[in-house]
Amino acid sequence: MAGREGEGGAGGASGAAKAAHEAFLAALDEGVSKRLKAKDEEIARIEKLNWALEERIKSLCVDNQVWRDMVQNNEATTNVLRNNLEQVLSAQMRIDPYICMSRMTNYSWPKNILN
C-alpha cells in the first residue's frame, strides 16, 4: 500500500505539471494567435492603402496625358499663330514698307513674339 501512495503522489505531481504545461501552451497559442491576427489586419490595411495608391497613380497618369495633349495642342496653335503673324507682317511689308516700318518702330513688340 505504501508503494501505491507513493505512485499516486508522484502521479498527482506529474498531472499538475502536465496541466501547467498545457495551460502555458494554451496561453502561448493565444498570444501567437493574437499577434497573427494583428499582422493579418495590418497586411489587409496595407493592401487596401496600396490599392488606393495604385488607383491614384492611374488617375495621375491620365491627368498627365491630358496635360501633355493640351500642351502639344497649344504649341501647335502657337506655331500656327506665329506663322500667320509672320505672313501678315510680310504681306504688309510688300504693300507699304514705309508705313509698316514706322508702325514697327513706334510699337514695342513683346519679347520672343517671333521666336
State residue 23's pLDDT score: 94
**Sign, Cα dihedral of 26, 31, 32, 34:** positive
Residue 93 burial (CB < 10 Å; 0-12/13-18/19+)?
Answer: middle
Q: Does position 35 have pLDDT exceeding 90, yes or no? A: yes
Q: What integer is the mean pLDDT of 77-93?
A: 91
Exposure b/e, 7-39, CB count within 10 A at least 16 = b:
eeeeeeeeeeeeeeeeeeeeeeeeeeeeeeeee
Q: Which of 25-29, 34-38, 98-102 has the lowest mean pLDDT?
A: 98-102
